[in-house]
């Protein structure tokens, strides 16, 4: 087991090519982390996720503490063993989901009390309990416990929320059990306000973290506002630590954020889209449920190496979706994860070769095509 | 492409070890055919189905004629190409599903008219149209079009139904387009009445088929009555042709039928059970949803080589089922298909070595355990 470390190999403008070393192996950056909310990347075998090139998964503290329970996962050998994913795992802190999913939330300086959305049982999350849960899950990368600032928020609301998160970040740091190869990331908050973001960065850097996440984005502010926050924030972050943009996003969001110096991403979009018949392709986003695919013998994406594209026609995928067959979500999820990993691989190669801007342009053009007949 | 052929290698009592050669490859018998109703074995990649040792799939004429349509499948290269299953495929004739699923059925000497259960559209199935559809699907083994005799049925009802099926079998034979490596099977009917079964066999043999199926069983008559029908029927069937017991069954049904000279089987049980948290194991049938599995670190079945058993605990499978994660049906279906294929492989080895009765005893003892704590 080696220590947690971030190697920065090359830059191209603000874009960075690097590698994060964790207790369970390396992650080449820029990296996209498929979301494994409840200890599974929905509709995929973990071997298949790995086959796409994904090196790290995201797990959800909120979901896992409620079911099957963090202590149970620990007794069963930790999350890697439990879900058969031997590679690195990052867990979020529960702060975001507790605000978006739980019932009867009550926030105090101490933490958050809430009712489970599954069975109504009462629970408490504090910075200390969140650290404990993530340790029990055996997360390679633990996220500091933070409050999810609502959007929209006034400068006063955003400041108050951010400062609470900074005090919780300090308590997270104090409670985090140091282990060789394991890391704790702080989360920059402050809404859409550059001065609050700067204050948040300063507070986190003063505390000191192994990596820095940008939180509270992709909550409705739009891509332009999100990029403006990144433009104001990433230059302030320590260059020698990985940077993670939480919950983002569409391919164009990711490409734009890499151009602004972000190294890590997670989003439910590729997996959720796979379960709703949406496929990302090099020739635009495709709704395979659309009747115009019913006789189409062509693959979803000729340049893709996933089984959905290698072995099946659009007509077949359309048939699976119309027939509500489980193989539909299985194949489309696999494809979308492959597409996202291909973009990340493409970005890494482009950064190494100093042609990131050109790569980004092509990737954005593909997304802009939308669901039209592409060939 | 070789011609359709059945090699009989060994017998042990009435049990037979053989191999069926089809246009798309061989099938070792006794064989279990996973059901791929709508051009997919539900919740499985075809590569995974093949990995269990399955060599032949069953497709459903009724479902496929309604969606996506037989002509469409033909334009897309046939069912093998459409669903990425390069091996042999047997299709049923539609006779059974039209009686169990379709609406407003009307049966005449000519055939059956009905309304689709999907969209209410009107369709007709006749022996000639059924042969045409199965040819369009490119089935290696085509089943004669028959009427599904209701159960219970009086001797008069069973006789009338069987004789209609025999006339339809003759028309199926006449309409079947002979192709190298492709086969047409007749279906013995006659309910639970030995004399009617004998009359049916005589009629089919007089017409002449490449294989013979026993139909109209597993419809509520019980295992004892089913075995009694087999005891009266299989000795009458030509020894040099494969024998297929349709829609059967639990492992004990299959083992008992092999002891009575049956070579081929299909059933939705392993796949359907996999979607309802039921797993067949060497230590009894397990309902993995049961709370007693929630902390169990042991595999579902220690002796099984499938991914569900190699890589996961009962606790994890329980968690997936409780969380309604798609990976639950994926893994449990894989396991059940593996279990069925392991039984067939075990039966083939036992027949070759003249110890079929002993193997059968052990297999039946495992099933009899039921859902108890097995270790």
Please state whether the predicted TM-score (pTM) of the whole model is above 0.80.
yes
Chain A residues lying within 8 Å of B38, measured CB to CB: 319, 323, 325
B85 has a chain A CB within 8 A of its CB: no
Q: How far is A129 from chain B (nearest CA, A)?
A: 22
Residue B334 CA to residue B351 CA, distance in Å, equals 26
Q: What stretches of B204-298 adopt beta strand conformation (E)? A: 211-214, 243-245, 264-266, 278-281, 284-287
pLDDT < 50: residue spans in chain B: 1, 373-375
Question: CB-based contact (8 Å) between A311 and chain B?
Answer: yes
Point out the residues of B that are catalytic: 92, 266
pLDDT per position as a tens digit, B284-320: 999 999 999 999 999 999 999 999 999 999 999 999 9
pLDDT of amino acid B366:
80
Give the pLDDT confidence score for residue B365 in this predicted structure: 85
Could you state, in order of their start, the residue ranges of all structural domains in chain A? 5-267, 274-368
User: Taking Cα atoms as reference points, which of A12, A38, A3 lies closest to residue A182?
Assistant: A3
Using CA atoms, how far apart are residues B105 and B110, in angstroms rounded to an integer? 13
Backbone angles phi, psi at A91, to 5 degrees: -115, 140
H or E stretch at A32: strand A31-33
- B76 to chain A: closest CA residue: A297
Phi and psi at residue A33, in whole multiples of 5°?
-100, 110
Residues A13-48 have pLDDT tens digits of 999 999 999 999 999 999 999 999 999 999 999 999
Q: Model confidence over B43-70: pLDDT tens digits?
A: 999 999 999 999 999 999 999 999 999 9
The whole-number pLDDT of residue A273 equals 97
With beta carbons less than 8 A apart as the criterion, state whether B188 and B201 touch.
Answer: yes
Can you give the pLDDT at residue A375?
39
Of the partner residues A75, A319, A325, the one whose CB lies closest to the CB of residue B42:
A325
Q: Tokens for A88, please give them.
A: 């690195």
What would be the CATH architecture of the domain defined by B5-267?
A: Alpha-Beta Barrel (3.20)
pLDDT at B375: 39
For residue A374, the model assigns a pLDDT of 42
Residues A195-221 have a mean pLDDT of 97
How many of the other CB atoms lie within 10 Å of CB of B307? 19
pLDDT attached to residue B370 = 65
Cβ contacts from A onto B, under 8 A: 97
ipTM beyond 0.95?
A: yes
Two tokens, residue B277: 């948290």
Residues of chain A with pLDDT > 70, as a percent, come to 98
Distance from CA of A79 to the nearest CA of B (A): 10
């Amino acid at each position: 087991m080696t220590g947690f470390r971030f190697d920065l190999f090359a830059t191209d403008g603000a874009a960075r090519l690097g590698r994060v070393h964790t207790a369970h192996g390396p992650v080449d950056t820029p990296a996209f982390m498929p979301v494994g909310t409840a200890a599974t990347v929905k509709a995929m075998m973990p071997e298949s996720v790995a086959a796409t090139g994904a090196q790290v998964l995201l797990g959800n503290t909120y979901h896992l503490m409620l079911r099957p329970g963090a202590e149970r996962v620990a007794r069963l050998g930790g999350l890697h063993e439990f879900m058969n994913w031997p590679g690195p795992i990052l867990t979020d802190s529960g702060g975001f989901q507790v605000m978006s999913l739980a019932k009867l939330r009550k926030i105090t300086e101490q933490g958050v009390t809430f009712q489970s959305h599954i069975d109504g049982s009462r629970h408490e999350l504090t910075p200390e309990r969140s650290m404990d849960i993530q340790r029990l899950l055996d997360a390679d990368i633990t996220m500091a416990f933070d409050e999810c600032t609502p959007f929209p928020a006034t400068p006063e609301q955003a400041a108050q929320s951010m400062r609470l998160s900074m005090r919780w970040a300090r308590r997270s740091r104090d409670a985090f059990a140091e282990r060789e190869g394991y890391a704790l990331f702080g989360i920059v908050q402050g809404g859409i306000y550059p001065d609050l973001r700067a204050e948040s960065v300063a507070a986190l850097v003063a505390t000191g973290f192994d990596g820095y996440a940008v939180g509270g984005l992709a909550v409705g502010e739009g891509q332009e506002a999100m990029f403006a926050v990144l433009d104001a924030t990433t230059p302030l972050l320590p260059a020698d630590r990985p940077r993670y943009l939480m919950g983002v996003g569409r391919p164009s969001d990711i490409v734009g954020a890499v151009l602004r110096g972000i190294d890590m991403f997670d989003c439910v979009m590729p997996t959720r889209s796979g379960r709703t018949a949406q496929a990302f392709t090099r020739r635009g986003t495709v709704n395979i449920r659309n009747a115009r695919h019913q006789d189409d013998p062509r693959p979803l994406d000729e340049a893709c190496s996933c089984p959905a594209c290698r072995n099946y026609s659009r007509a077949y995928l359309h048939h699976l979706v119309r027939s509500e067959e489980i193989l539909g979500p299985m194949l489309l999820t696999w494809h979308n994860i492959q597409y996202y990993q291909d973009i990340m691989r493409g970005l890494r190669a482009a950064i190494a070769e100093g042609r990131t801007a050109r790569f980004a342009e092509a990737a954005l053009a593909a997304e802009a095509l939308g669901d039209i007949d592409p060939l």
